[in-house]
Amino acid sequence: MTINQILVVLLYTIQPYLWLLAVAVAALLLAFLFGRGRGGRRSRLVLPTSLVIGVVAALLAPMLTGSQLAYVATATDWLALVAIALAVTLYSVLLLTPIWRRR
């Protein structure tokens, strides 16, 4: 496959989810806009809350794809769940940090 063919397949694969990406980017922009004027340090609750959100998202990911957590058997499946947990944790840290400021 050429790189052009790979990009076409990627574009058709991501196309149904572009609106979700747009909502995620809009939520980040709104969080930074609302949190821009707030001073102070980051709240201590941001990291634990983000970790809980990431673990819950990783545990719910098989259900969202029509699978079950019992079917997660290979190392690739577990690595995908860990990657989901890390990505959602990072996103929630980026989302919550500007909003949860303490003085």
Domain ranges of the chain: 3-102
Contacts of 89 (CB under 8 A, 6+ apart): 50, 51, 53, 54
- Whole-model pTM: value is 0.80
Sign of the Cα pseudo-torsion (58, 64, 68, 71, in order): negative
Stretch among 6-15, 22-31, 39-48, 76-85 having the lowest mean pLDDT: 39-48
Mean pLDDT on 81-90: 96
pLDDT (tens digit per residue) in 18-73: 999 999 999 999 999 988 877 777 788 999 999 999 999 999 998 988 888 888 88
C-beta separation of 29 from 91 below 8 A: no
pLDDT over 80 (residue 93): yes
72-96 mean pLDDT:
94
